[in-house]
Homo-oligomer: A and B are copies of this chain.
Amino acid sequence: MSADAEVRLARAALTRICEPGSHGLAELVARRGPVDALAALWQDDPPQDIARDVLARRGVQRDTRDRAARDLEGVDALGGRLICPEDDEWPERVDQLAAISTAGDPAMPPVALWLRGPGDLTTLCARSVSLVGSRAATSYGTFVAGEFGHGLADRGWTVVSGGAYGIDGAAHRGAMAADGPTVAILASGVDRPYPLGHHGLFDRIRADGLLVSEWPPGCPPQRLRFLVRNRVIAALSAGTVVVEAAARSGARMTARRAVELNRPLMAVPGSVTSAMSVGTHQLLRSGAVLVTSAAEILDTVGRIGADFAEPPRGPVTARDALGPELSRVVEAVPAREAQPMVEIAAQAGIRVRDAMRALPILVGHGLVEESTTGFRLTTAGRRSAAAGNQPTSLR
């Protein structure tokens, strides 16, 4: 299955108009679909959390669809593509971000992802680990990152990282040294990966693996974007390893996301005299798993997260994070035979107008789908229900 051309065009345009993670955008897309949502952003009052972005861009851009078409052509010319939640290649894992995103901390899933490279994102990430850490890494940190990257690739696992200097670069290089594909999640367009000094590295990554970005071609990296991007690094892989991090480090944001997503968080010990291990030691003191080798990483990821398509325990399925009102509605949605909205409202014991508000949000979370005869649970929705109701055994 793949997104139709109009949907793809609209999602491409949305990546240019709004910064990622927004609740307002996610709800608008869930309620009206990407094509109508795009039109609405250009005509109506935009949702509050993206109003500034949208209004600024309305002022300078005439036709968003035209620009999106050129973006798609441009990326196509580079051998790249845009993948959408409607595509088979879309990694369902990133949609778990919807469950941890809150109004005060917008971390919604990407509306689409720009890709460059031959790899299939979902396939590559099925068995993947994120290796992250400081740019100002020590020789110890880069050595360990390289060793771990190599060891993971050697065992058939994909290394996910951010393409930065220091730990990220060493992790990608280690994986490629073992002839493994690796995935770099960027905070800028896939046509201008940052930093420039990693030009050669990025060329090699996209030869076998993937460059991935939420931002459209030409987009420059910005300080905030690196932090926003980190949620995707945590969400795409089965677990995250922080190799080196100072007391205040962007890697700690990736670590936090991994924990919120209920994915294993690991950290590498180092000298207590090294400023670059202060952050990792703090993580280890607050519950991260200490790892000293690729084998120990896979032990941890294998044990805790045997198959992350199905969360191994109940607490953080997308459904669990819905809150009482939406939970009540999702409980009333049939698993197989779609039912009209009024039936579901009756079943849930709520007013139809509340069901009208709730069901599109559940569609946006990927738990419910609409058909000609009404609404029913998606595969993810059924799976989430099963995971919530009965403990699944660990492998």
Contact = CB atoms under 8 A, between A and B. Distances in A.
A268 B273 CA distance: 11
Interface string A128-156: 00000000000010011000000000000
Interface string A296-308: 1000000000000
Given A144-B272, A271-B270, A272-B269, A285 B277 contact: no
B273 A290 contact: no
Interface in A285-331: 285, 289-290, 292-293, 296
Given A285-B289, A289-B285, A290-B285, A269 B273 contact: no
B281 A272 contact: no
Oligomer copy total: 2
Interface residues of A, number: 19
Tell me which of A271, A289, A293 has the highest count of chain B C-beta atoms within 10 A of its own C-beta.
Answer: A271
Contact of A284 (B277, B278, B290): B290
A293 B290 CA distance: 18
Interface in A260-284: 268-273, 277-278, 281, 284
A296 B278 CA distance: 13
A289 to B, nearest CB: 7
Contact of A290 (B143, B271, B281): B281
A292 B281 CA distance: 8
A289 B285 CA distance: 7
A128 B272 CA distance: 22
Contacts of A269: 269-272, 277, 281, 284, 290
A292 B284 CA distance: 11
A245 to B, nearest CB: 13
Interface in A216-254: none
A255 to B, nearest CB: 15
Interface in A70-129: none
A272 B284 contact: no
A275 to B, nearest CB: 11
Nearest to A143: B273
10 contacts: A140-B273, A143-B273, A269-B269, A269-B272, A269-B277, A269-B284, A270-B272, A271-B271, A285-B289, A290-B290
Given A270-B272, A285-B290, 9 more contacts: A144-B273, A269-B272, A269-B277, A269-B281, A269-B284, A270-B271, A281-B290, A281-B292, A285-B289
Q: Lowest 4 CB-CB distances: which A-B pairs, in order?
A: A269-B269, A272-B292, A284-B290, A281-B292
Interface of A: 140, 143-144, 268-273, 277-278, 281, 284-285, 289-290, 292-293, 296
